């Protein structure tokens, strides 16, 4: 965001020579103190970002662009991170076993954040040799406070069968099951797992029934974390 | 929600996610040479990029190739810097190519080759979408269509911005190219340095 603001300001400053442009965005003040030279050869922009004066004597628009990108970054933007917040639940109604089998795929560090934020103030070291005793109970409690399943309008209890670490040790699969289901036609899922930790958390649900062969998909986000499918 | 819709949306939102801005910055550098009136070329260029990254994303998803994410994270900003620098070296030749179609194949080829690198950058994300899914062809297809749609929206935005800057703010095209290339190079350098 900040980079965009500075870019726009630079463009405005270079294009029109307007000075003393002030913009306040999320507590950071951007001010163009001086802008000179619309020409291709010389242009200068001086910013006051977050109270710090920065002077640029720029020889070309290339350098101007280059510096515009660097300043906000070095001041306030997070270093580059390919961060995304996602979980994935695969749900299958197995008609032969008369059960609803669920595999929940979660990032371990995200889950630790979620459990910590729910009031557990010790480090769990999930899926490592140092994993604390009773860690599964914490996971179970956290999941059951956030993830719920209703079958044909009836809220269901599920069993936490266990967890398994993924090959790359960054994620885990939790196995959940609802037993003794003779039939399933409508499933409602509510899953706001980790949404209290990350605003951009996306919880994907994929469902299928071996009875009807039907599939269903959900993409749950903050503010819309409940959905229903017919299987 | 259907399967196509799910993966399409995930692809679209992934490319348009501000946190995955390396791909956006690449598109910015890639489109810098073009004006709104040559949008067709830019659409082909973005599609060539998609073909490139679809290919490596598919190969990685099928476990046929495997490249360390750290290497990819290093190569992506390098593709941006190369694109940005090539924009400002020989500007006349670049502008000519942007004007006359017969020179364009070279640019399409580069977009595709660089797409190969960016495709590997999508793979961690895509893998976490799949979970234990066995049939990946359809999800892969829908995800790529979503990415392509997102890219077309981004490049259209860039072209409109360039139109505004050149036609209303009266910035010369050469200045625009330099400014945008410098911006892209600066962001890429920051990614590279970390």
How far is residue A213's CA from residue B84's CA, in Å, rounded to a whole number? 51
Angle at the Cα of A96 from the Cα atoms of A90 and A99, rounded to 5 degrees = 45
Query: Is the CB of residue A176 less than 8 Å from the CB of residue A160?
Result: yes
A residues 14-53 lying closer than 8 A (beta carbon) to B:
14-16, 40
**What ranges do the domains of chain B cover?**
3-12+32-193
**What ranges do the domains of chain A cover?**
2-75, 86-230
Task: Note the pLDDT tens digit of each residue in A9-67.
Answer: 555 444 444 444 455 544 555 555 544 433 332 344 555 554 555 444 333 566 566 66
**Burial class (CB within 10 angstroms; exposed 0-12, middle 13-18, buried 19+) of B99:** middle
Domain at A2-75: CATH code: 3.10.600
Task: State the nearest Cα–Cα gap between A134 and chain B, in angstroms.
Answer: 26
Angle at the Cα of B116 from the Cα atoms of B111 and B122, rounded to 5 degrees = 115
What kind and span of H or E run contains B186? helix B173-193
Predicted confidence at residue B126, as pLDDT, reads 85
The number of angstroms, rounded, from the C-alpha of B68 to the middle of its chain's C-alpha atoms is 20
Task: Place B74 in a pLDDT band, splitting at 50, 70 and 90.
Answer: confident
**Burial class (CB within 10 angstroms; exposed 0-12, middle 13-18, buried 19+) of B44:** middle
Q: Which residues of A69-194 form beta strands (DSSP E)? A: 86-94, 99-107, 147-151, 154-156, 159-165, 171-178, 186-191
The number of angstroms, rounded, from the C-alpha of A138 to the middle of its chain's C-alpha atoms is 22
SS3 assignment, position A88: strand
> CB distance from B17 to chain A under 8 Å?
yes
Predicted confidence at residue A121, as pLDDT, reads 85
> In the numeric block, which tokens belong to residue B179?
């400014």
Instruction: Kindly give the confidence (pLDDT) of every residue in chain A, 231 residues in length, as a single tens digit, with 9 standing for 90 and above.
Output: 445 555 555 554 444 444 444 555 445 555 555 444 333 323 445 555 545 554 443 335 665 666 666 544 433 344 444 478 899 999 999 999 999 999 999 999 899 999 999 988 888 888 888 888 888 999 999 999 999 999 999 999 999 999 998 776 788 999 999 999 998 999 999 999 999 999 889 999 999 999 999 999 999 999 999 999 998
> CB distance from B165 to chain A under 8 Å?
yes
> CB distance from A5 to chain B under 8 Å?
no
> In the numeric block, which tokens belong to residue A162?
């266990």
Contacts of A12 in chain B (CB under 8 A): 169
What kind and span of H or E run contains A2? helix A2-16
Total-model pTM: 0.79
B residues 112-151 lying closer than 8 A (beta carbon) to A:
121, 124-125, 128-133
How far is residue A172's CA from residue A166's CA, in Å, rounded to a whole number? 5
Decide the pairing of beta strands A202-209 and A86-94: parallel
Is the pLDDT at B20 greater than 80? The verdict is no
Predicted confidence at residue A67, as pLDDT, reads 61
Nearest CB neighbour to B128, from listed A3, A63, A86: A86
The number of angstroms, rounded, from the C-alpha of B42 to the middle of its chain's C-alpha atoms is 11
Which strands, in side-by-side order, build the sheet including A159-165?
Answer: A159-165, A171-178, A99-107, A86-94, A202-209, A215-220
A residues 79-138 lying closer than 8 A (beta carbon) to B:
79-84, 86, 88, 90, 103, 105, 107
């Amino acid at each position: 965001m900040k980079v965009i603001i500075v870019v726009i300001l630079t463009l405005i400053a270079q294009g029109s020579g307007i000075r003393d442009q002030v913009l306040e965005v999320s507590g950071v003040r951007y001010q163009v103190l001086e802008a000179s030279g619309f020409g291709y050869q010389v242009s200068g922009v001086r910013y006051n970002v977050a109270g710090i004066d920065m002077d640029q004597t720029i020889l070309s628009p290339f350098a101007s662009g280059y510096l515009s990108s660097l300043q906000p970054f070095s001041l306030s933007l997070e270093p580059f991170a390919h961060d995304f917040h996602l979980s994935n639940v695969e749900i299958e109604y197995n008609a032969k076993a008369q059960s609803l089998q669920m595999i929940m795929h979660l990032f371990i560090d995200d889950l630790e954040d979620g459990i910590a934020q729910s009031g557990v103030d010790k480090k769990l070291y999930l899926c490592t040799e140092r994993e604390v005793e009773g860690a599964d109970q914490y996971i179970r409690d956290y999941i059951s406070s956030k993830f719920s399943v209703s079958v044909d309008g009836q809220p269901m209890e599920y069993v936490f069968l266990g967890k398994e670490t993924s090959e790359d040790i960054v994620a885990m699969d939790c196995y959940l099951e609802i037993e003794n289901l003779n039939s399933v036609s409508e499933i409602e899922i509510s899953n706001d797992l980790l949404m209290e930790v990350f605003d951009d958390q996306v919880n994907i649900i994929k469902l299928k029934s071996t009875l009807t062969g039907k599939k269903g998909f959900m993409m749950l986000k903050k503010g819309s974390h409940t959905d229903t499918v017919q299987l | 929600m259907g399967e196509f819709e799910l993966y399409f949306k995930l692809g679209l939102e992934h490319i348009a996610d501000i946190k995955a801005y390396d791909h956006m910055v690449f598109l910015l550098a890639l489109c810098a040479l073009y004006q709104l009136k040559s949008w067709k070329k830019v659409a082909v260029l973005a599609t060539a990029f998609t073909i490139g990254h679809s290919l490596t994303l598919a190969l990685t998803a099928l476990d046929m190739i495997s490249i360390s994410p750290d290497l990819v994270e290093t190569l992506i900003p390098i593709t941006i810097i190369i694109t940005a620098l090539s924009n400002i070296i020989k500007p006349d030749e670049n502008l000519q190519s942007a004007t006359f179609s017969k020179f364009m194949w070279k640019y399409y080829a580069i977009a595709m080759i660089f797409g190969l690198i960016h495709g590997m950058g999508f793979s961690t994300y895509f893998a976490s979408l799949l979970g234990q899914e066995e049939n990946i062809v359809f999800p892969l297809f829908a995800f790529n269509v979503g990415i392509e749609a997102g890219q077309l929206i981004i490049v259209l935005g860039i072209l409109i911005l360039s139109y505004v800057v050149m036609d209303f703010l009266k910035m010369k095209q050469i200045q625009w190219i330099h400014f945008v290339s410098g911006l892209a190079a600066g962001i890429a350098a920051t990614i590279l340095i970390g």
